[in-house]
């Protein structure tokens, strides 16, 4: 029996190289997920914990409770800050920096309500800035698809007018 140790060594080297590539790939995915989680947690902290941003959310909620008509030519910086926050989330998700399920878990409820409430404002601004907050639209579509999967079949995503009022009451008392 003639054993060619060179062939065995070559195959062992190939198997070791494949194992190393797989290990690097797995570690890269884990590292990207970890980095994405850090970003989501920081964005969540800004949205929920930073008093400056909570003031903006309060101001927007109070405005929307009293007036949802944006036809009178007003632009509101606080509204744009909230939309820009979601725009950044959408961009980072679209570029593959963030995990879709994490973004859904942390932000869908707020995105869904603000998006429903601010569609008229977005349409108003798009009269002269047609691409404004495109990633907000895209983000809402992506997260709504996940939400539909988690809800019983045929359940309406809403939100109802009553639920929007409750949301605005909550946000205006932050």
Instruction: Print the SS3 string covering 100-163.
Output: HHHHHHHHHHHHHHHHHHHHHHHHHHCCCCCCCCHHHHHHHHHHHHHHHHHCCCCCCCCCCHHH
Q: Which residues, 6+ apart, have CB-to-CB distance to 77 below 8 Å?
A: none
Average pLDDT, the chain: 88
How confident is the model over 101-121, as a mean pLDDT? 95
pLDDT top residue among 147 and 174: 147
H or E stretch at 75: none
Q: Which domain does 67 fall in, by range?
A: 37-172
pLDDT top residue among 72 and 119: 119
pLDDT top residue among 5 and 79: 79
Dist CA 3 CA 173 (whole Å): 80
Dist CA 49 CA 32 (whole Å): 25
How confident is the model over 1-13, as a mean pLDDT? 73
Query: What pLDDT was estimated at residue 73?
Result: 55
pTM of the model: 0.80
Dist CA 105 CA 103 (whole Å): 6
Q: pLDDT-based confidence at 161, cuts 50/70/90?
A: very high
Query: What pLDDT was estimated at residue 77?
Result: 87
**Structure-block tokens of residue 39:** 């970003």
152 within some domain: yes
How confident is the model over 117-144, as a mean pLDDT? 95
Q: Looking at the 3D structure of the chain, how many domains does it have? A: 1
Query: What pLDDT was estimated at residue 31?
Result: 67
Q: Which tens digits make up the pLDDT trace of 11-56?
A: 777 877 777 777 777 776 776 777 788 888 898 898 988 899 999 9
């Amino acid at each position: 029996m003639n054993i060619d140790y060179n062939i065995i060594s070559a195959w062992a080297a190939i198997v070791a190289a494949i194992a190393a590539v797989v290990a690097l790939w797995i570690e890269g995915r884990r590292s990207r997920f970890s980095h994405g989680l850090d970003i989501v947690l920081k964005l969540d902290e800004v949205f929920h914990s930073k008093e400056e941003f909570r003031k903006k959310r309060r101001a927007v909620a109070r405005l929307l409770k009293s007036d949802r008509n944006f036809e009178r030519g007003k632009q509101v910086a606080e509204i744009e800050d909230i939309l820009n926050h979601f725009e950044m989330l959408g961009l980072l998700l679209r570029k593959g920096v963030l995990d879709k399920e994490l973004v859904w878990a942390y932000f869908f409820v707020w995105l869904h309500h603000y998006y429903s409430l601010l569609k008229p404002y977005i349409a108003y601004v798009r009269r002269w800035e047609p691409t404004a907050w495109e990633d907000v639209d895209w983000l809402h579509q992506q997260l709504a698809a996940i939400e539909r999967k988690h809800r019983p079949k045929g359940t309406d995503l809403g939100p109802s007018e009553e639920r929007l009022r409750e949301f605005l009451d909550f946000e205006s008392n932050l």
